[in-house]
Each structure stands twice: as C-alpha cells, then as structure tokens.
Amino acid sequence: MMHTHAPPYMQLLIFALAWAVGIYAVNCLIAREIKRISPAQAFMHAAAMALIGLAGEVTVGTLYHALFSKPLWAYTILPIHHSYTSRYALFLWGVYGFHLYLLHGTLAKSRPRSIHRIALLFSIEAVVIEALVNISYKLSFNNYIYYYFPNDLWHLTSLQTLPFYLGAGYIIAAAFRRFESDPRFFACMCAALACLLAFGT
C-alpha cells in the first residue's frame, strides 16, 4: 500500500549522497581503477539527466494516463505534476546521470559507442537501478519513493516501462553526444531548466 509520509530533508539528502558514493565505488570496481572525474562532464551528465528524467516522467505519465485512463506510477516524496514526478527526482536522476558518466566512460574505452547499444543498456539499467533504489528506500524508511500500480515487479518498478526507457535511451545518447561539445554551457542550461520544472510549480 502506498504511503505519503516523507522523512526529513537531511535524511533524503543523505540517502541520495549514499547512492552517489555507492555508484562511484561500484564503477571503480568495474573499471578496476580509481575513476578520475571531470567536474564539468560529471555535472553536465547529472544536470542533463535530471532535466530529461523529470520531463520524461511528466510526458510518459501523462501519455500513459491518456491512453489507459489510469496512472502507471505515483511519487510519494515531494510529488509535483500530478505525482508523475517529484522535486526529489531532481537529485535521483542527477545521481543516475553521474552513473552514466562513469559507466559509459568505462565502456567507451573498450569498444565503440553504438547509440543502439547505449539505448538498450539504458533501458535495462534504468529498470534494475530504479528497483534497487526503491528497495533500499523502503528498507530505510518503510515507504516507496515511487509506487508502481502494476504488480509485475512488486510495485517497485514495472516491465511496462521498458519501451519508454528504450526510447528515452536514444534521446539521452544523442543529447549527451551533443552536450559534450560544450559541457559547461549545457550543464548550466539543463540545471536551470530542471530547477524551473521542479520548483516553478
């Protein structure tokens, strides 16, 4: 059953930071080295993913409801835009963007970056990480961050999101390739638009 109680903001921040640290550690293990971070590139990936994530959730949530007359998911923590997204999602998607920066940078060293491979990898990663984040949050705070109404994956996420995530993967791969030409400009632009979307309501 979905609850709407939110822990204090400091606990939410610590939870997001813990995930960022964990993601960095896992990516260092995958790369078998201490990953060096370019602040401009890392912030660009985080800001772009925050913008694409929030805008994508509102778009997909609205489209799904229009097609099936019911929501696919609802955020329980700081919900906005009919609970299709959340102000907290700004940070969660940003952390995921940090992961994409680290992991896909590692993969690019071993083989050419195919946009089809990146899109497929994103769709699978997104479902798995989304479920893991929700599980860890539920274990920590006895609540869901987002509650999926279909029960195919215990309300943690849903296989119904795979087609949407696959399409989003192509958008993200193309955006990152374009944004790499001027990471500082696009990072600031994406961060400003993401904050406007999250806090301008």
Residues 50-78 have pLDDT tens digits of 999 999 999 999 999 999 999 999 999 99
Backbone angles phi, psi at 8, to 5 degrees: -60, 155
> Does residue 44 sit within a domain?
yes
Residues sharing a CB contact under 8 Å with residue 18, sequence separation 6 or more, in sequence order: none
Q: How confident is the model at residue 123 (pLDDT cuts 50, 70, 90)?
A: confident
The verdict on residue 184 lying in a domain is yes
Q: Which domain holds residue 176?
A: 15-199
Distance, C-alpha 173 to centroid of its chain: 14
Question: In this structure, are residues 3 and 76 in contact, taking their beta carbons and an 8 Å threshold?
Answer: yes
d(CA 154, CA 145): 14
Q: Is residue 8 part of a domain?
A: no
Whether 136 is covered by a domain: the verdict is: yes
**Nearest-angstrom CA–CA distance, 114 and 19:** 27
CB within 8 Å of 52: residues ≥ 6 apart? 93, 168, 171, 172, 175
Q: Is residue 7 part of a domain?
A: no
Q: Is residue 5 part of a domain?
A: no
Please report the pLDDT score of residue 2 as a whole number: 58
Q: How confident is the model at residue 80 (pLDDT cuts 50, 70, 90)?
A: very high
Domain count, the chain: 1
Q: How far is CA 9 from CA 15, 56, 58, 198, in A?
A: 10, 24, 23, 16
Contact 157, 134 (CB under 8 A): yes
DSSP assigned state of 201: -
In this prediction, residue 190 carries a pLDDT of: 95
Q: Does residue 152 form part of some domain?
A: yes
In the block, tokens 């299709």 appear at: 84
* Measured distance CA(48)–CA(140) in Å, rounded: 28
- CA gap 116, 86 in Å, rounded: 29
What average pLDDT does the chain have? 90
- For residue 161, give the nearest of 94, 16, 153 by alpha carbon: 153
Q: Is residue 122 very low, low, confident or very high in pLDDT (cuts 50, 70, 90)?
A: confident
